[in-house]
Amino acid sequence: MHNIKALPFDFKFDGQTIALIVIDMQRDFAEPGGFGASLGNDVSRIGTIVPTVKKLIEGFRQAQLSVIHTMECHLPDLSDCPPAKRNRGSPTLRIGDVGPMGRVLIAGEPGTAIISELAPLPNEVVIKKPGKGAFYATRLDDELKLHGITHLVFAGVTTEVCVQTTMREANDRGYDCLLAEDATESYFAEFKTAAIDMIRAQSAIVGWTATTDEILKGINNV
């Protein structure tokens, strides 16, 4: 049994049963001209976690543990994008519109790509998801079961939306979930803080949280 120093108490896992899931580190959310900026957000906040996310990814690769990436995106004909999602609010660009990095959040467009510093390796699983949670309408659960994964470490964006949603989905499916506190971010500092508090409340009702350094210490001897 391996151990990671975490809150609200230590996170324990068996050897190769642990995997890293990096949520939606895409150009459309992290760079000017993308969907995140079209909603009026300060996307520079997302860029601050790139070095930490990279460090976490490299640590899992060095330990020969699974790294899984997700991308929020839709089919070109928008058949998997409900009108309620596309039409909400008043962004300067809606899903499917043509922006500086191609059609917003459409599979295969430049803006939908994962930022280059965190690009997946050819052997790493990439989950294209049409919703906020990475289990909805995807093969993620099947992939995890295929490889005997029972414990998940999460990084990526945004903490309170796609990351927390996926953690809750995973929790309901029986996975033990750990959030890397310094490898996740929100456009709103207070939302990140609130999400972390909710995740580890009531004896880790959704999951645990820990720093990247503590996570890497815990997987070093796997």
Which amino acid, 207? Answer: G
162 catalytic? Reply is yes
What does the angle CA 128 – CA 130 – CA 135 come to, to the nearest 5 degrees?
70
14 catalytic? Reply is no
Considering the candidates 28, 73, 132, 162, report the single residue annotated as catalytic.
162
Rg (CA), the chain: 17
Instruction: Tell me the backbone φ, ψ of residue 198, rounded to 5 degrees.
Output: -65, -40
24 catalytic? Reply is yes
Considering the candidates 129, 132, 182, 192, report the single residue annotated as catalytic.
129
CA distance linking residue 142 with residue 136, whole number of Å: 12
Neighbours of 7 (CB within 10 A): 17
Provide DSSP, 52-88: HHHHHHHHHHHTT-EEEEEEE-B-TT-TTS-HHHHSS
Q: Which residues pair with 69 in a beta bridge?
A: 22, 126
Considering the candidates 24, 28, 176, 182, report the single residue annotated as catalytic.
24
Residue among 171, 178, 155, 177 nearest 68 (CA) = 155
Backbone torsion region of residue 121, taken as left when φ is above 0, otherwise alpha when ψ lies between -120 and 50, otherwise beta = beta
Residue whose entry in the numeric block shows the structure tokens 């896992």: 13
Active-site amino acid positions: 24, 129, 162
